[in-house]
Amino acid sequence: MADAVPDLASLDFASVTPQEFAVLVKRTPAKELAAFLRGEPRARVLAEVFGRMERQFRPENAGSLDTVIRWRITGADGEPEAVYETAISGGRCTVREGASDAEPRVTLTMTDTEFLRLVSGNGNPVTMFMTRKLKVSGDIGLASGLTRLFDIPKA
pLDDT tens digits along 40-77: 889 989 999 999 999 999 999 999 999 999 999 998 77
For residues 84-114, one letter each, b for 16 or more C-beta atoms within 10 angstroms of the residue's C-beta and e for the rest, the string is bbbbbeeeebebeeeeeeeebbbbbbbbbbb
What pLDDT, in 10s, does the model give residues 98-113? 999 999 999 999 999 9
> Cα separation of 31 and 12, whole Å?
21
Under 8 Å between Cβ of 115 and 73: yes
pTM (predicted TM-score): 0.89
Nearest to 77 by CA among 113, 131, 128, 46: 113
